[in-house]
């Protein structure tokens, strides 16, 4: 879905954290994702879908990481220990994902904000009821 765009100056570690955070949240919802027929909006763009984001992240990571590094990366995402990813891999993936515009200011920005709004809504409901929602 993404093409190589003009590279914005971003800290690769920040891009890595942003992309991995969204990837982790969407990964937890993977059983609810489904392939939909792409439809152009009025601006001639296709809506950013979670399944496309997951595929982009994995495909781009698989291209630059060895099979062992890729497997370790997926395991760290699954166990929520991505902070233990070697800095060299964080930098490599952050630069790659920035080049392909997978950060919050790219085509998938709507997904970042949708997740953030859902979390804020959940927190507001929890604060109102004084009990956590599962």
Residues 26-73 pLDDT 10s = 887 766 666 666 666 677 666 678 888 999 999 999 999 999 999 999
| CA–CA dist 68, 6 (Å, integer) | 31
Domain presence at residue 6: no
Distant-in-sequence, close-in-space partners of 41: CB < 8 Å, separation ≥ 6: 47
Q: Is residue 1 a part of any domain in this protein?
A: no
Q: Is residue 19 part of a domain?
A: yes
In a domain, 134, yes or no: no
Total domains in the fold of the chain: 1
pLDDT at 126: 82
Evaluate whether 48 touches 133 at the Cβ level (below 8 Å).
no
pLDDT tens-digit readout, 64-104:
999 999 999 999 998 989 899 999 999 999 999 999 999 98
70, part of any domain: yes
Give residue 49's domain range.
12-129
In 29-108, where does DSSP find H-type helix?
50-64, 67-78, 87-99
CB 110 within 8 A of CB 103: no
Residue 51 pairs in a beta bridge with none
């Amino acid at each position: 879905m993404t093409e190589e765009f003009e590279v914005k100056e971003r800290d690769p570690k920040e891009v890595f954290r942003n992309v991995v955070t969204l990837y982790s949240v969407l990964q937890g919802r993977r059983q609810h994702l489904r392939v939909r027929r792409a439809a152009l909006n009025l601006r001639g763009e296709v809506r950013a879908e979670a399944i496309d984001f997951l595929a982009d992240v994995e495909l781009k990571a698989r291209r630059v990481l060895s099979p062992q590094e890729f497997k370790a990366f997926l395991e760290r995402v699954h166990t929520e220990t991505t902070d233990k990813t070697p800095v060299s891999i964080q930098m490599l993936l952050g630069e790659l994902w920035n080049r392909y515009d997978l950060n919050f200011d790219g085509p998938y920005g709507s997904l970042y904000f949708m997740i953030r709004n859902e979390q804020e809504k959940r927190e507001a409901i929890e604060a109102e009821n004084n009990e956590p929602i599962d």
